[in-house]
């Protein structure tokens, strides 16, 4: 059994970790209302919008989750000189995240979803530019203050260029700071250099492995090829984990009433990072991450965790049994 004091040590015993997050910043926008009637123009319904809500997404969501769990967080990314960029910066500030932002003419990435009667509708509107950022922007981002750990959140929007990854990776390795990566779908993992751990979902991992194989065997092969620990998430089916030069395990998911899978991967990345940084084994860290993901998917959208809510993820995770 993980005891409460062990799980909470990152925020209660003065060892507040400093996490650096770099990646694609996204503004998640929600239109919230009720379906009031059938659409007379085409098959579907008319949604009467009662509320609009903006939340941090992408690497900004990773930073928000880490800050909510008590970490000091520095966030590096790109926003545009537009309304979405202004809103994103205000939200970053509201969550107590230290910004290291390149502000330019590139439009801010946003995603808009519709929620009707508490249920997420299947349609989504995206605005994004995926071309690589300029060398000047990459150089600026590479100078971000480095903390105790580097989290790379690559959504494939052009922020995580090879130049940026190489420079940040060299700095982190020189400082002996662990590097955890959530890779973009279809990107060669060798682009990330020598890292501590890669956390990928099944589709991302399969794209690198090149063929459908047994989950444990695939994770083991990826860990051996890329010389790092690998965690592959399988949604409601759990996770498979391969230690670098170590063992390979399967962990079942926790039974959960799933409302929305948005943010589950971000939550897993943060929970893994903070648990490892706090001295937990990879096995224990994965168990914590599974409970964190279960907490997240029961919510609608990616939610930050703060003390005013009466809890943080780590008190929830403190009750996880090693034998569960």
Rounded CA separation 101/92 (Å):
11
Half-sphere exposure of 52 (CA within 13 A, CB side): 5
**CA 17 → CA 73, 182, 283, 310, distances in Å?**
8, 20, 21, 21
Per-residue pLDDT of the chain (324 residues; tens, 9 = 90+): 233 333 434 444 557 899 999 999 999 998 888 887 878 888 877 888 888 889 999 999 999 999 988 899 999 999 999 999 999 999 999 999 999 999 999 999 999 988 887 676 777 888 999 999 999 999 999 999 999 999 999 999 999 999 999 999 999 999 999 999 999 999 999 999 999 999 999 999 999 998 767 999 999 999 999 999 999 998 778 889 999 988 999 988 764 554 444 557 888 999 999 999 989 999 999 988 887 766 654 455 545 444 333 244 444 333 333 333
Rounded CA separation 165/168 (Å):
5
The dotted CATH code for 4-33+48-317 is: 3.40.1190.20
The sign of the CA dihedral 19, 266, 180, 231 is positive
Half-sphere exposure of 80 (CA within 13 A, CB side): 14
Domains of the chain, residue spans: 4-33+48-317
Phi, psi dihedrals of residue 213, rounded to the nearest 5°: -130, 175
List residues bridging with 112 in a β-sheet: 29, 125
Alpha helices in the chain (DSSP H): 4-7, 9-12, 59-68, 83-94, 135-142, 162-174, 202-209, 215-226, 264-277, 282-297, 313-317
Rounded CA separation 81/108 (Å):
8
Rounded CA separation 169/190 (Å):
12
pTM for this entry: 0.85
Q: Which of 266, 278, 321, 322 is catalytic?
A: 266
Q: At a CB cut-off of 8 Å and minimum separation 6, what does 122 contact?
A: none
260 is catalytic: no
- The first and second tokens of residue 87, run together, are 């809103």
Q: Which of 173, 180, 188, 119 has its CA nearest to residue 152?
A: 180
The sign of the CA dihedral 135, 155, 95, 93 is positive
């Amino acid at each position: 059994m993980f005891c409460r004091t062990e799980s909470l040590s990152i925020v209660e015993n003065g060892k507040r970790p400093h996490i650096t997050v770099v990646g694609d910043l996204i503004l998640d926008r929600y239109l919230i209302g009720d379906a009031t009637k059938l659409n007379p123009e085409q098959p579907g319904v008319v949604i009467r919008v009662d509320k609009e809500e903006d939340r941090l997404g992408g690497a900004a969501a990773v930073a928000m989750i880490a800050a909510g769990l008590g970490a000091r967080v520095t966030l590096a990314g790109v926003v545009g000189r537009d309304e979405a960029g202004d809103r994103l910066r205000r939200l970053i500030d509201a969550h107590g995240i230290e910004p290291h932002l390149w502000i330019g003419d590139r439009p801010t990435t946003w995603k808009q979803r519709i929620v009707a009667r508490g249920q997420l509708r299947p349609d989504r509107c995206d605005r994004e530019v995926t071309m690589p950022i300029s060398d000047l922007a990459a150089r600026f981002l590479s100078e971000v203050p480095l903390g105790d750990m580097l989290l790379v959140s690559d959504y494939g929007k052009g922020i995580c260029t090879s130049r940026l990854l190489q420079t940040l990776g060299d700095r982190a390795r020189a400082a002996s700071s662990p590097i955890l990566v959530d890779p973009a779908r279809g990107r060669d993992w060798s682009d990330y250099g020598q890292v501590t751990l890669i956390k990928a979902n099944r589709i991302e991992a399969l794209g690198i492995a090149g063929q459908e194989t047994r989950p444990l065997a695939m994770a083991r092969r990826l860990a051996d090829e890329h010389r790092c620990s690998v965690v592959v998430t399988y949604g409601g089916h759990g996770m498979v984990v391969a230690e670098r030069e170590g063992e390979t395990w399967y962990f079942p998911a926790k039974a959960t009433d799933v409302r929305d899978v948005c943010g589950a991967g971000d939550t897993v990345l943060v929970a893994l990072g903070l648990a490892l940084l706090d001295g937990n084994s990879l096995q224990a860290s994965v168990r914590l991450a599974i409970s964190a993901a279960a907490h997240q998917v029961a919510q609608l959208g990616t939610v930050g965790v703060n003390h005013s809510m009466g809890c943080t993820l780590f008190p929830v995770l403190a009750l996880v049994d090693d034998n569960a």
